[in-house]
Structure 1
Amino acid sequence: MSSLPLITDWAFYAVAIPAVLLLGVSKSGFGAGFGSLAVPMMALTVTVPQAAAILMPILFVMDVMGIAAFRRHFDWKLVRFLVPMGLVGTLVGTLLFKLLDARVVAAIVGVFTLLFLAQRLLFPPRADSPPPPKWLGAILTATSGFTSFVAHAGGPPINAYVIPMRLPPLVFTATMSVFFFVINLSKWVPYAWLGLLDLRNMATSVALLPFAPIGVMVGVRLAHRIQPQLFYRLIYLGMFLTGCKLVWDGFR
């Protein structure tokens, strides 16, 4: 019986395993702050579309575990607003995927992320400041669905809308887990239609799958113990690293 045609390059696994662990922590413990780094990290050794395809089954397992762990903390009213807007973004991503250069998308997301962080640091919101308007939320959430489809980098745009709401950490994490579960589930048919879900990518994904629950379990434990102020500082750090990496990928 022939062996599965998975990727065998050791350099790929040297970056893919830390990327999967980091993605697991972000999916369950720190929203999407660090998770957007996974594809850029893996793209050091494979293309962005291939990295995104390999992560699809892993994301599904992580999303299910995250929903199970935080099932009592969802903000359903916010979820009902976010999900339809995010699906609009995945539809746009499906239609434009073959026309876009992944590096251009990476650069746009990275610049946007760094601008958002600069705005938060230079002009921090007051405690009584209102959350962003819904029209802006709709644009940012659709952008999140689009960038998630192209490079699993949906975290920065959605964070820019939800973070100013100052949700409790568990509510923030739970709500993001539902949002990205639906968004990631909606990608399966388009990814298959685009020819990204081939046997080699899926076999490689299976090889990486055992590392998924490790990252998720670490994230769940942290999310139940971390203080809100530190929680959001870590998200900002993750967004800063993500922004820098995406800008570097886009302009190098």
Structure 2
Amino acid sequence: MITDPTFYLAAIPAVILVGLAKGGFAGIGTVSLPLMALAIDPVQAAAILLPIMMVQDVISVGAYWKKWDRRNLVLLVPGAIVGILLGYLLASRVSMAAFNVALGLIAAAFALRYLLRPQMPPKQGGSLAGYFWGTVSGFTSMIAHSGAPPFQIYVMPQKLERDTFVGTSNAFFGIVNWLKFPAFMALGEFTTENVTTTAVLLPLAIASTWAGVLLVRRVPAEPFYKFIYLLLTAVGLKLIWEGGTALLGAA
């Protein structure tokens, strides 16, 4: 088990944020891995977080059981499988800095467009777009547990009912996280230290997930979606900053 107090200063808020995200505040957990990476290696942080998220997925999927949109899952999950495989095979060869800048620009532009034009009519996503954004989401989830922005870019224009949106998000990432487990196992990251650290953080993870489920149901649908768009804008800007800084540092 990790005993360094500095690690827990980063890990505790990170786990709470993931729990709130799993409870319904989709996207807020994207900052969790970078937060933990301030204290430990990012790959180790990802390995500690994955089993936590898998347990949280069981809770969140159960809380929104059968409230998912089946069409979205049918389109997104096959792409996500491809993305996870690509992430496992190509992680060392892909410039994540450039990728983050590109994804950040797309996410921020997408979110700002809908914030500035909130009355846009619902728009059903196409099949090819679903496969594409599912692949991108699976890839970014495998690399950095940050699959929410691509998922939201595809699903949010559909303006699903709040519980359907949350249920679809939970079901999709529940499937994705369990599919990622064999890849992380193959990487040899589930060491005794990592597994025991995960076990220590699990009670907090479970409590924060239930808190997210209870809190999100108290938020009216319109402010909820505005919050998600604002959050997506912030995440996009964060990706641009991180990727741009890394590219400039490498220049």
Normalised to the residue count of structure 1, the TM-score between the two structures is 0.89
The verdict on how the C-alpha distance between 1:207 and 1:244 changes in structure 2, with shifts beyond 3 A counting, is farther
**Which of 88, 99, 102 is residue 94 of structure 1 equivalent to?**
88
Counterparts of 2:198 and 2:190 in 1: how far apart (Å)? 10
Q: Does 1:224 align with 2:217?
A: yes
Q: Does 1:35 align with 2:29?
A: yes
The residue identity in structure 1 corresponding to 2:71 is K
Match of 2:162 in 1: 169
Counterparts of 1:101 and 1:135 in 2: how far apart (Å)? 25
The verdict on how the C-alpha distance between 1:108 and 1:197 changes in structure 2, with shifts beyond 3 A counting, is farther
**Which of 10, 25, 49 is residue 5 of structure 2 equivalent to?**
10
**Which of 106, 111, 116 is residue 117 of structure 1 equivalent to?**
111
The residue identity in structure 2 corresponding to 1:25 is L
- 1:194-217 superposed Cα distances (whole Å, 9 cap, x missing partner): 222222222221121111112111
Gap regions ≥5 residues in structure 2: 246-251
Q: Could you tell me how far 1:64 is from its partner in structure 2?
A: 0.2
Counterparts of 1:89 and 1:106 in 2: how far apart (Å)? 15
Counterparts of 1:22 and 1:37 in 2: how far apart (Å)? 8
Q: Does 1:56 align with 2:50?
A: yes
Report the more deviating stretch, 183-192 or 75-84.
75-84
Match of 1:3 in 2: none
Normalised to the residue count of structure 2, the TM-score between the two structures is 0.90
**Which of 22, 26, 43 is residue 17 of structure 2 equivalent to?**
22
Match of 2:196 in 1: 203
Counterparts of 1:107 and 1:168 in 2: how far apart (Å)? 31
Query: How big is the alpha-carbon RMSD for the aligned residues of Structure 1 and Structure 2?
Result: 1.9
Q: Could you tell me how far 1:225 is from its partner in structure 2?
A: 2.3
Give the SS at the match of 2:89: helix
**Residue pair 2:114, 2:229 contacting (<8 A) in 1 also:** no
**Which of 141, 144, 153 is residue 146 of structure 2 equivalent to?**
153
Counterparts of 1:110 and 1:46 in 2: how far apart (Å)? 24
The residue identity in structure 1 corresponding to 2:155 is V
Counterparts of 1:52 and 1:109 in 2: how far apart (Å)? 20
Match of 1:130 in 2: 123
Report the more deviating stretch, 139-148 or 208-217.
208-217
Q: Could you tell me how far 1:118 is from its partner in structure 2?
A: 2.8
Give the SS at the match of 2:92: helix
Give the SS at the match of 1:187: helix
Give the SS at the match of 1:98: coil
Q: How many residues are treated as equivalent by the alignment?
A: 245
Counterparts of 1:121 and 1:47 in 2: how far apart (Å)? 36
**Residue pair 2:101, 2:243 contacting (<8 A) in 1 also:** yes
The verdict on how the C-alpha distance between 1:97 and 1:195 changes in structure 2, with shifts beyond 3 A counting, is farther
Counterparts of 2:8 and 2:107 in 1: how far apart (Å)? 27
The verdict on how the C-alpha distance between 1:7 and 1:104 changes in structure 2, with shifts beyond 3 A counting, is farther
Match of 1:78 in 2: 72
Q: Could you tell me how far 1:17 is from its partner in structure 2?
A: 0.7
**Which of 59, 63, 66 is residue 65 of structure 1 equivalent to?**
59
Give the SS at the match of 2:12: helix
Q: Percent of pairs identical after alignment?
A: 38
The residue identity in structure 1 corresponding to 2:34 is P
Counterparts of 2:196 and 2:11 in 1: how far apart (Å)? 14
Q: Could you tell me how far 1:104 is from its partner in structure 2?
A: 4.4
Q: Could you tell me how far 1:96 is from its partner in structure 2?
A: 0.7
The residue identity in structure 2 corresponding to 1:8 is T
